[in-house]
Amino acid sequence: MKNASIPEYRAFLKNLVAAFDPHGAETYCNFFLHSCASAFGARGFFSTEKNRVLMANEMVDFLKVNQGQWKKFSGDYKSLVQDLCTSPMLAVAAQKADIHGHVCILTPEPVLIQSGKWGKDVPQAANVGKTNFYGKGLNFAFGKEPEIFVYVGA
């Protein structure tokens, strides 16, 4: 994906969102992130010990402790979105929860969306969860503002 064009990356994300349709109470944000990460060459979201894809809470823990591969984003969303729209890069929004956390991908879309819930402009997301979508504000995927991690490579 690193060598893809922005339109190719957008199409890739849209196709994956459509592929992971929720089934009843089962959602697949972890499989979505695993698939996106694999396309970028990012490893670590599959546990060979447990022989399964990590759950979202485990993914959040992994992102936090692997700062050689993943950089925690701090700053304003406008600069991040500009970077996302320049060349394909993997930016993950992540949040732990008591039972199941949630992860989603920030999209390479140049327009920020006003979030009344968070009182700021937010990037657009590709979300797989209770509802799947591409291009809604990040606030539609999370109740509270999540942490953002950007893949910087191994």
In the chain, what are the domain boundaries? Answer: 6-151
Q: At what angle do helices 6-19 and 29-40 cross, to 10 degrees?
A: 150
Is the Cβ–Cβ distance between 125 and 28 less than 8 Å?
no
What local confidence, expressed as pLDDT, does residue 103 receive? 98
How far CA 120 is from CA of 6, 89, 139, in Å, comes to 25, 23, 10
Using the predicted structure, report yes or no on whether residue 146 has a pLDDT greater than 80.
Answer: yes
pLDDT attached to residue 91: 97
pLDDT higher than threshold 80 for residue 60: yes
Residues 6+ apart with CB under 8 A from 21: 132
CB-based burial label for 14 (10 Å; 0-12, 13-18, 19+): middle
Q: pLDDT at position 22, please? A: 80
pLDDT band at residue 57 using 50, 70 and 90 as cut-offs: very high
- The CATH classification number of 6-151 equals 3.90.1720.10
Q: Is the pLDDT of residue 67 over 90?
A: no
Predicted model pTM: 0.95
User: CA 39, 58, 139, 27 torsion: positive or negative?
Assistant: positive
* Residue 154 reports pLDDT greater than 80: no
Closest by alpha carbon to 101, among 146, 135, 70? Answer: 146
